Structure 1
Amino acid sequence: MKLLYLSYLNSFKGLSREVWWLALVTLINRAGTMVIPFLSLYLTQDRGFSLEDVGTIMSCFGLGSLAGTWLGGKLTDRIGYYKVMVWSLFLTGVLFIWLQMLESFYAICSGIFVLMVIADSFRPATYVAMSAYSKHENKTRSVTLIRLAINLGFSAGPAIGGVIIASVGYFGLFWIDGVTCLLAALLLLLVLNPKKAKELDQVKNEAPRSAYSDYPYLLFIGAMVLLGLIFVQYFSTVPLFYSEMRSLSEVGIGLLLAMNGFIIFVFEMPLIKYLETSTLSRTSLMIIGLAMTTFSFFFLTIGTWTGLLVIGMILMTLGEMITFPFSSAFAMDRSRSGRQGEYMALYNIAFSISHIFAHNGGMVSIANFGYKSTWYLAMIIGVMGILLLYALRYRLQTSRKK
């Protein structure tokens, strides 16, 4: 047990102080956005909107996220990641407090859209900052640490949010969300000031390449869109399957989803440290990870034993743990030869696109064709993503030989 503990601690060694500070800022920011999981409840119960209205508002949420990610990439290339992160956090804090004052349907649609444009401009800037503050050999583990902070934030946020709603009501969420964003901006100013922080990987390009003209990178982005389409099913349609077809209670569904977070928290960093020393390329590891996620849906199509659901969740979690850190590291390394903000924005846009279409697409597929056919369709989409990654690996290998 002691050896396992020491091995776990060693997996965090070598990361720069700036990356640790960035992880803390991310943790505070993500834990603070506790209003997001309760947004649908707030709109229906507190504001009295219909489900159709809520659906439209949530579409504005997704479109704002997409636009914000694109804008964040552009601004990062023009004014730098530091200014984008500080202003994004500060303005997001102000907007969260302002949002509760909106009452009409169109005002809330506009407010949610503007909020997400500002809030998600933070994402590409964070990746560029992470790349700058990481040595080449530590980039994947730096991504993993940030992912750990995000998961902890998302786990703590809803729990704290539920207590706040029960104690003081929904308006308390908006104030606390706003204040935590402002605190994260203040912390960023104090600990990651460019005059004090040390960049370990400075990139200087006289004629940076556009991400949209990088064909191998576009293959990679296509694979990420397909990955996102099937991955988000585990947090939208799969829980419905657990309830309707496997008769699991809310507690049972919660435990399955919690197992995903627990496995990531305990095993992801040691696993990434081990895989970094392997002879496998990042594209090969992404293929393995996506194959695991794809195959996990097979266990939803056979038998009625609950243990099959556990096996599927474990397999999906392993695929997530491998694919996401190494895909992020691949995107960061690829961005070195081009406009970094644009590259990282496109990487995040891939998942924004998935979120816009995957949830509704999965629901429509289930309504028309049933659960089993939907899981087979998810596997087909996953295989298409794997083929794109194989094409990417072939393209990269061919270009190295020239």
Structure 2
Amino acid sequence: MKKLYHNYIDTFRGLSLEVWWLSLITLINRAGTMVIPFLSIYLSDSLNFTLPDVGWIMTFFGLGSVLGTWMGGKLTDKIGYYKVMLVSLLGTGILFVLLQFAKTFEAFCAGIFLVMLVADAFRPAMFVALSAYSKPENKTRSVTLIRLAINLGFSAGPAIGGVIITGIGYQGLFWVDGITCVLAAFLLLKVLHPKKAKILDVVKVENPVSAYKDKAFWIFFIAMFIFGFTFLQYFSTMPLYYKEVRLLTVLEVGLLMGFNGFFIFLFEMPLINWLENMKNSKTKLIAFGLFLVAISFIVLNFTSWVGILIIGMLLMTIGEMIAFPFSNAFAVERAKKGNQGEYMALYAIAFSLSHIFSHNVGMQMVDKYGYEFTWNFITILALLGVFTLFILLKVLKKEKNT
């Protein structure tokens, strides 16, 4: 047991202090976005919006995310990641506090669009900062540490949010969200100011390649959109399937979903460390991760045994644990040949676009054709993503030979 503990701790060794600080800032920021999990409930219960109204508001949420991510990438290349992160955190804090005063449909659409526009400018800047603060050989593990922070934040946020709603109501969420973003900004100022932070990997490209002209990266983008579309079903249609078809209670659904975050927290870093030491191609590993996610859907149609839900969740979780860190590391590595902010923005946009289409399409399919058909469709789509990654392998091999 002691040896296992030391081996686990060893997987975190060698990461720079700056990466640890960046992870803490990300944890505070993500734990602070408590409004988001309760947004649909707040809009329908407190503001009495109809479900179609809520759907449109979530569309504006996604549009703000896409534009914010794109804008964040552009600004990162022009003024640097530090300024973008700082302004994004401060701006998001102020806008979250103001959002509580938006009471009409039009005002909330505009408000949530602005919040996401400013908030998601942080993402490409953070990825570029992560690249700068990491030694080349530590980038994948650094990405994994950030993912652990995000997962912890998303796990803690809703729990704290539930307590706040019970104690002081929904308005308290907006205040806490705003304050935590501002606190994260002050921590950034304190510990990662350019005069204090140590840069470990400076990338200067004389003639940068535009991400939008990079054929291989566009193929990668399509694969990541498919991955995002597939993965996000676990946060919209899957909980409904657990409740309506498998007759799980809300508590049981929560425990099953919580298993995902807990498993990632315990095993992702050792798994990534082990896979890195095996010297496998990042693209092949991403394809394998997406393949596991695909299988997690189709197995649900095989049996009515309740244990298959745990197997499905385990397959998805392991797939996610492999695909996310290595896809992120691939994007960071590829970005070295061009404008880093632009590359990291395009990578993040793939998932932002998934948010716009995934939930709505999944719900419509379940409504018209049922869950069994939907899981078959999602599996085929995910396997198409695996095939796309093998096309990427061929393109990269051809690039290498020319």
Q: What residue is the counterpart of 2:131 in the other structure?
A: 131
Q: Which residue of 1 aligns with 2:87?
A: 87
What is the match of residue 356 of structure 1?
Answer: 356
Measure the CA separation in 2 of the matches of 1:357 and 1:58. 11
Give the Cα separation in 2 of the matches to 1:165 and 1:371: 33
Aligned positions of 1:8-157 closer than 5 A: 8-157=8-157
User: Could you state the TM-score of these two structures normalised by the residue count of structure 1?
Assistant: 0.99
Name the aligned partner's letter for residue 130 of structure 1: L
Q: Tell me which amino acid in the other structure corresponds to 1:342.
A: E
Query: Separation in 2 of the partners of 1:311 and 1:108?
Result: 40
Runs of 5+ in structure 1 lacking a partner? none
Q: CA separation in 2, counterparts of 1:262 and 1:156?
A: 11
Report the 3-state secondary structure (helix = DSSP H, G, I; strand = E; otherwise coil) of the residue aligned with 2:302. coil
Superimposed CA distance per residue, residues 285-306 of structure 1 (whole angstroms, 9 cap, x where no aligned partner): 1111111111111211111001
SS in 2 for 1:336: helix
Cα distance in 1 for residues equivalent to 2:56 and 2:170: 21
Report percent identity of matched pairs. Answer: 60
The residue aligned with 1:214 is 214
State TM-score, norm by structure 2. Answer: 0.99
Which aligned pairs between 1:207-286 and structure 2 lie closer than 5 A? Answer: 207-286=207-286
CA drift at 1:367: 1.4
Secondary structure of the corresponding residue to residue 279 of structure 1 = coil
Separation in structure 2 between the aligned mates of residue 170 and residue 255 of structure 1, nearest angstrom: 24
What is the rounded CA distance, in whole Å, between the counterparts of 2:240 and 2:104 in structure 1? Answer: 32
The match for 1:162 is 162
Deviation at 1:398, TM superposition (A): 2.1
How many matched pairs?
A: 402
Matches of 2:253 and 2:131 in 1, distance apart? 37
Name the aligned partner's letter for residue 401 of structure 1.
Answer: N
Paired amino acid for 1:371 = Y
Shift of 1:106: 0.9
* 1:200-248 per-position Cα deviation (integer Å, ceiling 9, x unaligned): 1101012111001100111111100011111111111111111111111
Question: In structure 2, the residue corresponding to 1:247 is in which secondary structure?
Answer: coil
Measured against aligned partners, the alpha-carbon deviations of 1:108-154 in whole angstroms (never above 9, x if no partner) come to 11111011100000000000000000011100000000000001001
Q: Does 1:306 align with 2:306?
A: yes
Corresponding residue for residue 181 of structure 2: 181
Q: CA deviation at 1:310?
A: 0.8
Q: Which amino acid aligns with 1:109?
A: C
Question: How many Å apart are 1:279 and its aligned residue?
Answer: 2.7
Task: Give, in angstroms, the shift of residue 107 of structure 1.
Answer: 1.1
Measure the CA separation in 1 of the matches of 2:180 and 2:241. Answer: 36
Once residues 238 and 183 of structure 1 are traced to their aligned partners in structure 2, the CA distance between those partners, rounded to angstroms, is 35
Moved more, 330-339 or 246-255: 246-255
Specify the SS of the correspondent of 1:49: coil
What is the one-letter code of the residue matched to 1:240?
L
> Stretches of 4+ moved more than 6 A in 1?
none
Which residue does 2:196 correspond to in 1? 196
